[in-house]
């Protein structure tokens, strides 16, 4: 039985995947096997990949190459998986750029990419805002990803994507405290305006409602720039409460109504001071 089990486990790994990479990402154990925890991680990887792969295919069919920028890359977990599953079989100039502020993680990612012979990966020690102005990135990109980019970093990623005319955005927002802090600061004035302010009167509700509103405003902002927006849930990410997935596709849709709705929501909730953050076209 012990001889058969590892073979059965390996069937869960796709043909051609780098075993060394999966070990490095702790998806496989050191001896190259799957245990219960690593199987769960692999399931998460494939679940996220199933949303991104169709976008990669669309860009490839239309342009022949793909320019993807991953913001708040951390250890570049997502970038390496995408490269291993999709990019490494491509010819031409397709490229993944990992943007990360911690230089030690950038250096580790560079070393791993060299060891795995993944030449189409670059890692830049920049903030998201700095990346928007950097000449080390293309003037236009195809796909922007930002997984668990904390607080306003998700909004910086959106700003970057808009500046770079990205066709697609894949966002998993995280740690959204700024809107909640404005709701809290203006709570006294707001309570007299409407019974709806009871939704965020208690501190716990302020935090939760603020997080929800932040993503609603982001979706309206993207729609006001002509994007079609889909919101779904990353299943199997029970270890994280932040499992909302926002996928935006540029379709040059009408902008007037979502722009008006965005301004109305800001005014209704007393968030007018945040209009610049959620700017529209």
Range of the domain at 196: 176-281
Query: d(Cα 230, Cα 145) in Å, to the nearest integer?
Result: 15
Tell me if 129 is assigned to some domain: no
**Bigger pLDDT: 164 or 153?**
164
Tens digits of residue pLDDT in 3-52: 333 433 444 788 888 999 988 888 888 887 777 777 777 777 888 899 99
Tell me if 65 is assigned to some domain: no
Q: Structure pTM?
A: 0.89
Tell me if 125 is assigned to some domain: no
Return the DSSP state at 211. Answer: H
- Paired strand residues for 250: 227
The alpha carbon of residue 129 and the mean position of all alpha carbons in its chain are separated, in whole angstroms, by 15
Tell me if 56 is assigned to some domain: no
**Bigger pLDDT: 189 or 70?**
70
Tell me if 31 is assigned to some domain: no
Question: How much is the pLDDT for 31?
Answer: 81
Angle between helices 178-185 and 203-223 (to 10 degrees): 120
Cβ-contact 143, 57 below 8 angstroms: no
Q: What is the mean pLDDT of residues 228-243?
A: 74
DSSP notation for 164-202: TT-SEEEEEEE---HHHHHHHHTHHHHHTT-GGGGGG-S
The CA angle 158-104-70, to the nearest 5 degrees, is: 25
Tens digits of residue pLDDT in 156-184: 899 999 999 999 999 998 767 888 888 88
pLDDT band at 88 (very low <50, low <70, confident <90, very high): very high
Tell me if 245 is assigned to some domain: yes
Tell me if 55 is assigned to some domain: no
Question: How much is the pLDDT for 9?
Answer: 43
Question: How much is the pLDDT for 90?
Answer: 92
Tell me if 149 is assigned to some domain: no
How many domains does one find in the chain? 1
Structure tokens given for 165:
């005319």
Question: How much is the pLDDT for 5?
Answer: 38
């Amino acid at each position: 039985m012990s001889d058969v089990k590892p073979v059965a486990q390996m069937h869960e790994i796709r043909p051609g995947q780098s075993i060394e990479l999966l070990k490095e990402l702790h998806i496989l154990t050191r001896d190259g096997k799957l245990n219960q925890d690593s199987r769960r991680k692999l399931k998460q990887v494939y679940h996220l990949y199933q949303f991104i792969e169709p976008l990669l295919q669309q860009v490839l069919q239309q342009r022949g190459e793909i320019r993807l920028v991953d913001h708040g890359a951390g250890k570049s977990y997502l970038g390496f998986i995408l490269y291993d599953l999709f990019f490494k079989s491509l010819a031409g100039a397709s490229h993944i750029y990992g943007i990360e502020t911690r230089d030690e993680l950038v250096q580790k990612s560079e070393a791993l990419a060299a060891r795995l012979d993944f030449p189409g990966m670059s890692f830049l020690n920049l903030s998201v805002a700095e990346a928007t102005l950097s000449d080390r990135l293309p003037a236009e990109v195809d796909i922007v990803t930002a997984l668990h980019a904390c607080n306003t970093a998700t909004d910086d990623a959106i700003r970057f994507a808009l500046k770079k005319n990205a066709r697609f955005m894949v966002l998993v927002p995280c740690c959204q405290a700024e809107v909640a802090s404005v709701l809290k600061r203006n709570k006294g004035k707001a309570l007299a305006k409407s019974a709806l302010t009871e939704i965020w009167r208690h501190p716990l509700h302020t935090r939760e409602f603020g997080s929800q509103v932040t993503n609603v405003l982001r979706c309206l902002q993207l729609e006001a720039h002509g994007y079609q927006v889909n919101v779904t849930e990353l299943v199997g990410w029970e270890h994280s409460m932040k499992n909302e997935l926002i996928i935006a596709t540029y379709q040059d849709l009408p902008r007037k109504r979502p722009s008006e709705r965005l301004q109305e929501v800001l005014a209704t909730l007393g968030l007018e001071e945040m209009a610049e953050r959620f700017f529209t076209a």
